[in-house]
Amino acid sequence: MKRIQNICAVDSCFLCNNCLDEWKPAILAHKTTYKIKKGEIIFKEGDPVTGIYFVNSGSVKVYKKWDKDKELIVRFARQGSLFGHRGLGIGGIYPISAAAVETAVVCYVDVAFFEASLKVNPDFTYKLLMFLTEELKQSERKMRNLAHMSVKGRVAEALISLQNQFGITDDGFINIDLSRQDLASYAGATYETVFRMMNELVSEKLIGLSGKSIRLIHHNKLLKLAQDVVFL
């Protein structure tokens, strides 16, 4: 996690992009920028909260640990999104961990400044409110899936979700470089089980593989597999 020159692309930053114009100079003066290497941990649950992060490029997993070598990936943050905001509110301790999945550039502001932004900038607060509402919907949806959906369904859902978030490359593969381990953590199941389910999906011709890359072939059947009552 190396501090670098500010190269924040203002128009793809949640903070800059949703703020009053007159507040932007303050942001630019205040924030710092870091480059985070693939795999590097940014903060861990239990760490005292210092600030909020905004993703410029790359991708970051937000996760909760369990048992030293088990975790659940709660969501991914990528360009234009933020993380660390769960540190707000009571406690002053991050309830989750964050690490770079793909080498990332992030902007950082400390909590005090962030809260000042909220005070000064009601419209920003409102935007953040909407952002949290969406996160909460996703979160509860995922909760229900973990409780009731089979692993195969969850894998299907995870893949669709990844494609929605990261898009596809020119040759049609999901545009993210994710280890199988992380995929498993995202689907909320073990490595081996996810692997087997992937195999089934391949032989049912619902997805295609090329090395680590994954391509969705039969989007509709995948959706149906996830028995999805689409109230996204």
C-beta of 34 vs 191, nearer to its own copies: 191
The span from the CA of 16 to the CA of 128, in Å, is: 12
C-beta of 16 vs 184, nearer to DNA: 184
- Rounded to a whole number of angstroms, the minimum distance from the CB of residue 96 to its own copies is 6
Contact mark string toward its own copies, 116..145, x via CB under 8 A: --xx--x--xx-xxx-xxxxxx-xxxxxx-
C-beta of 62 vs 225, nearer to DNA: 225
Binding status of residue 3 toward its own copies by CB under 8 A: no
C-beta of 103 vs 193, nearer to DNA: 193
DSSP 49-62: P-EEEEEEEEEEEE
Q: Residue numbers of the site for DNA (CB under 7 A)?
A: 70, 150-152, 179-181, 188-193, 195-196, 199, 212
| Tokens at 92, concatenated | 């002053």
Helix axes of 122-148 and 111-120: crossing angle, nearest 10 degrees? 110
Name the DSSP letter for residue 168.
Answer: B
- Rounded to a whole number of angstroms, the minimum distance from the CB of residue 119 to its own copies is 8
Q: Which of 58, 84, 153, 188 binds its own copies (CB under 8 A)?
A: 188
Q: Where on the phi/psi map is residue 89: left (φ > 0), alpha (ψ -120 to 50), or beta?
A: left
Q: Which of 85, 107, 108, 182 binds its own copies (CB under 8 A)?
A: 85
Compute the 3-state secondary structure of the chain and give helix, strand, coil in percent, each to the nearest 5.
45, 30, 30
The span from the CA of 32 to the CA of 39, in Å, is: 21
Residue ranges that bind its own copies, judged by CB under 8 A: 45-46, 64-67, 70, 72, 74, 85-86, 88-91, 93, 95-96, 118-119, 122, 125-126, 128-130, 132-137, 139-144, 146-148, 188-189, 229, 231-232
